[in-house]
Amino acid sequence: MVNIISFIALIIAITIHEFSHALVADRLGDPTPRSQGRLSLNPLKHLDPIGTIMMFIAHFGWGKPVPIDPYNFSHPKRDELFVALAGPVSNLILASLLAIVYRFFPVSIIFVIAVINIYLAIFNLLPIPPLDGSKIFLNLLPQEKSVEWAEAFERYGSFLLIALIFLPVGGSNIVSLVISPVVNFILRLLFSGFSGQ
């Protein structure tokens, strides 16, 4: 039952995350996500086959990246930064709203959905491709440095991410060791004082 709840919570988190990327890109003038059917809250539009399989294997997963064309933006670097931030920020906003709901209806599924949204947000802020954090990092750099880092990311980013997720460290993995303290801090802020949290 716990696995089913976690699976549903992850589907919700991924859908909100990817839809928010698409929505912000659309509002900033890029019609690409809309033309690809990504401006939708239908989970099937956003699920990645491998990311979905990983939900069952690793109890974590990801959605299909939302395609964008920065050349459609008025300010490409700034607007691409906003699009990249939209996914993690939307997950944190949803978790905050759920914390308010939980105050009046303290049921476990609300807490689980909030936890997974926070994990997904913080995980995606890691500056490793293909995560949103890498796009945020690149767009904060000067153009020349951004190109250099983009080339390095393209070569090694995915391998680095896989290693960080799957290499065991003290009964966990490097990603969990890095993001868990941040996730726990946010959970204490949102849910402190609630019975059982």
Q: On the CB side of 174, how many CA atoms lie within 13 Å of its CA?
A: 10
d(C-alpha 147, C-alpha 59), whole Å: 34
Which residue among the candidates 18, 80, 148, 154 is catalytic per the annotation?
Answer: 18
3-class secondary-structure state, position 167:
coil
d(C-alpha 128, C-alpha 91), whole Å: 19
Contact 94, 14 (CB under 8 A): no
The answer to whether residue 18 is catalytic is yes
CA end-to-end span of the chain, whole Å? 20
d(C-alpha 142, C-alpha 153), whole Å: 16
d(C-alpha 53, C-alpha 51), whole Å: 6
CB crowding 15-54: b at 16 or more within 10 Å, else e? bbbbbbbbbbbbebebebbeeeebbbeebebbbeeebbeb
Which residues are tagged catalytic? 18
